[in-house]
Structure formats: C-alpha cells, structure tokens
Amino acid sequence: MSIIISAATHKGGTGKTTTIVNLAASYANINKRVLVIDLDPQMNATQLLTTPGQQYPEEKTIAQAINNSLPLEEVRIQTSCEGVDLLAASPDLNDIRDRMKSDAEQAFLLDDLLESPVIEEYDLILIDLHGSLDCLMLSALKSSDYYLIPMFAERSSAEGLQMMVDFVARHRRLLSALRLLGIVITRFNPKNATNVVYKDLIYEMGKKSNIPVFQNIIPVSNAVSGADAEHKTLLQYRRTLPITEAYTALAGEMLPLLSSRRRGRVPQIRTAAIAEARSAFEMLDVEQMS
Ligand SMILES: Nc1ncnc2c1ncn2[C@@H]1O[C@H](COP(=O)(O)OP(=O)(O)OP(=O)(O)O)[C@@H](O)[C@H]1O
Ligand SMILES: [Mg+2]
C-alpha cells in the first residue's frame, strides 16, 4: 500500500523542496518506487527532477490533470532519477487556487488522481508544497497519511510551525487521519552558535509538545545549489558528501514510522508548548540583537 507524505509549513524557503526531492532519491536508491507530486506553482521540484532539455507534453502537468480529469497514468512523467516518477507543476496551479471558493471544493483536488489503481505501483508518494495555507495545501494534507515540517534552526521557524499546526487543527474534521511525522532540521551549521541554540530549543519544544524531531539533521552545504544548477538530486551530484549521507540516514530513520496507514489514534499535539517555544525563540532574538 502506498504511503503519502507532504512537506508543509507556513513559511517559504525552509528546505521543503530540497527535502522532498532528496528523500525521493534516497528511497529510490533502496529500490522503493516513488512518485513526487509538485503542487507548488514555482515548480522547483519539477525543475530539479527534469533536465532543461527534457521535453514533456504540455498537458502532462498536475494542473492539466485536475482541470481535464486526466488519469494519473496519462500525466505522470519519468525523471532523470531512476525509480522516481513526477507529477509536474505549472503556473496554472495559481489559476486553480484562485478559482476555488468553498472549503468543500478546496479539499478534494487530488482525490480523483490518487484513486487511480496505478497508485499502488508506488511505495511512497511525496508531495512538495509552497508555504501558503491554501486549497493546494488543504488538498494535499487531506490526501496524505503524514506531513513533515522542514525547519531551519532560526527564529522565524517557530512562527511557521505554530501557524501550520493551527491550520491542521482548524481543519481537524477533514484532516482527522493526518499525522505529523516530525520536524526535520535543515541547513544546519554546527559552527554557528545561533543555529546550535535554536536547534536545542527545537528538540526541547518537540519533547514538550509531543512532536517528534528527527535525530538526523541536514547540514548546510553548497552542494544544494550545485546540484540545483545541474538539475540533479544530491545522490546524482555527489554520493559521498555529508549532506547526501544525512538525507539517506533521514530516509532510513523515517521508514519504520511509516507502516500504520490511517490506523490508531492520532497523537495529541500540545499546542501551548509550541506557543511557549515561539516566545522563547523571539526572546532569544531580542537578546542577540541587544
Ligand atoms: N542544507 C542546505 N544547505 C544549503 N542551502 C540549502 C539547504 N537546504 C536548502 N537550501 C537552500 O535554501 C533555499 C530554500 O530551500 P528550498 O527551496 O528547499 O525551500 P522551500 O521550503 O522549498 O522553499 P519555497 O517555500 O520557496 O518552496 C534554496 O535556495 C536552497 O538551495
Ligand atoms: Mg519549495
């Protein structure tokens, strides 16, 4: 049975795309079949997973599939990363978002596509989102078994986390089966004292709020922009770098947590602890500025 995971937070530029694409590559590397769905009109995951010269028909995008009720098997494309297929994004996703009016309409954009029998060809479906709390995010979360929150170890991350968790709580009826898989700390520099202090705060907040924080931390690395420029995953770019190994280890850490699809009680998140952490993050920022 395929498991669906979204990377989501209410904040731009926190490592969502880098995490989704490199987790996809890490899982493909251990022979899992992976489908990446790019639901971000900026198309960053699509650009990373396709080469500039790669031609794919214009109708092979997720927006076209939603607009014209095309089945998954007609719109998915192969990527240069073996074992990873893609539902490509396009700027038309903006029009879809603008068109949606009611909550009821908003949450079901992916249902038809994901009901396709070919979905069972995949072990994992990884959805990349942009940082807005809109119908694209709501639909992705409604279709997902899990979401994960990539965070940089810096002040504004706590704000994005709190808004994200509040958004899920506000839609708890629609999202009753969704579980928070955990926080992934990304772009971490162990030599940066501020990064270290915020990292410790994130782990403390995780314990108090009942949100798992993954032990495998993704380090800061110039390889991310290098791989980006060459439209490659980190495994394709440099297999032995610490960041590549960190994504492989993170994929391994996640795997045993992914078995129980929509079964059992959804763990209760203690939101007061997130609000507390957000104040602590802000205090720290003030102290550092003074
Ligand atoms: N581990 C890392 N080391 C260095 N740079 C990184 C790392 N992870 C991400 N970046 C850089 O940080 C920026 C944001 O990363 P990314 O695009 O993955 O975030 P995002 O959350 O998907 O952003 P958006 O909200 O715009 O979609 C990018 O320029 C990326 O190259
Ligand atoms: Mg992105």
46-88 pLDDT, tens digit per residue, is 999 998 777 666 779 999 999 998 999 999 999 999 999 999 9
| Residue 61 DSSP code | S
Tell me which residue range forms the domain holding 25.
3-289
pLDDT at 158: 84
Residue 231 has pLDDT above 60, yes or no: yes
Look-up: residue for tokens 């596509």?
113
Q: How far, in Å, from the CA of 152 to the mean position of ligand 1?
A: 9
pLDDT at position 48, please?
95
- Give me 21's structure tokens: 């694409």
Q: Which atom of ligand 1 is nearest to the CA of 218?
A: 1
> Given the structure tokens 């403390």, which residue do they identify?
204
Q: List all residues whose CB is within 6 A of at least one atom of ligand 1.
A: 12-18, 40, 42, 44, 130-131, 186-187, 218, 220-221, 224-225, 228, 243
Q: Please report the pLDDT score of residue 223 as a whole number.
A: 98
- Nearest ligand to the CA atom of 131: 1
How far does residue 34's CA lie from ligand 2's centre (Å)? Answer: 18
3-state secondary structure of 192: coil
Alpha-carbon distances of 112 from 60, 68, 117, 126, 197, rounded to whole Å:
16, 11, 11, 17, 45
Contact (Cβ atoms closer than 8 angstroms) between residue 141 and residue 114: no
What spacing in Å lies between the alpha carbon of 112 and ligand 1's midpoint? 31
pTM for this entry? 0.94
Ligand 1 pocket mutation, candidates 9, 17, 151, 199, criterion most atoms within 8 A of CB:
17
pLDDT tens per residue, range 132-186: 888 999 999 999 999 999 999 988 888 888 999 999 999 999 998 899 999 999 9
What residues pack around ion ligand 2 (CB closer than 5 A)? 16-17, 44
Query: Using an 8 Å Cβ cutoff, are 257 and 181 in contact?
Result: yes
**3-class DSSP state of 288:** helix
Per-residue pLDDT reduced to its tens digit, 173-224: 999 889 999 999 999 999 999 999 999 999 999 999 999 999 999 999 999 9
CB 24 within 8 A of CB 84: yes
pLDDT bin (cut points 50, 70, 90) of residue 269 is confident
Which ligand has the nearest atom to the CA of 228?
A: 1
Taking the C-alpha atoms of residue 206 and residue 198, their distance in angstroms, rounded to an integer, is 12
pLDDT at 90 (0 to 100): 93
Domain count of the chain?
1
**How many whole angstroms separate alpha carbon 84 and alpha carbon 75?**
14
* Top-confidence residue, 201 or 105: 201
What is the residue-wise DSSP string for 209-223?
HT--B-SSPPBP-TH
E-assigned strand segments in 120-178: 124-128, 146-152
Mutate to test the pocket of ligand 1, among 11, 187, 188, 241 (most ligand atoms within 8 A of CB): 187
Choose between 187 and 283: higher pLDDT. Answer: 187
For residue 249, pLDDT over 70 is answered with yes
Closest to 247 in 3D by CA, of 93, 26, 10: 26
Share of the chain above pLDDT 70, in %: 92
Q: How far is the CA of 103 from the centre of ligand 1 (A)?
A: 30
Task: Tell me the mean pLDDT in the region 122-133.
Answer: 95
pLDDT at 279 over 60: yes
- What CATH number is attached to the domain comprising 91? 3.40.50.300
Top-confidence residue, 282 or 85 = 85
pLDDT of residue 239: 95
Tell which residue, 184, 171, 105, has the closest CA to residue 144: 171
* Distance from the alpha carbon of residue 265 to the mean position of ligand 2, in angstroms: 30
pLDDT at 11: 85
Distance 56 CA to ligand 1 centre (A): 25
Q: Is the pLDDT of residue 262 over 60?
A: no
Place 8 in a pLDDT band, splitting at 50, 70 and 90: very high
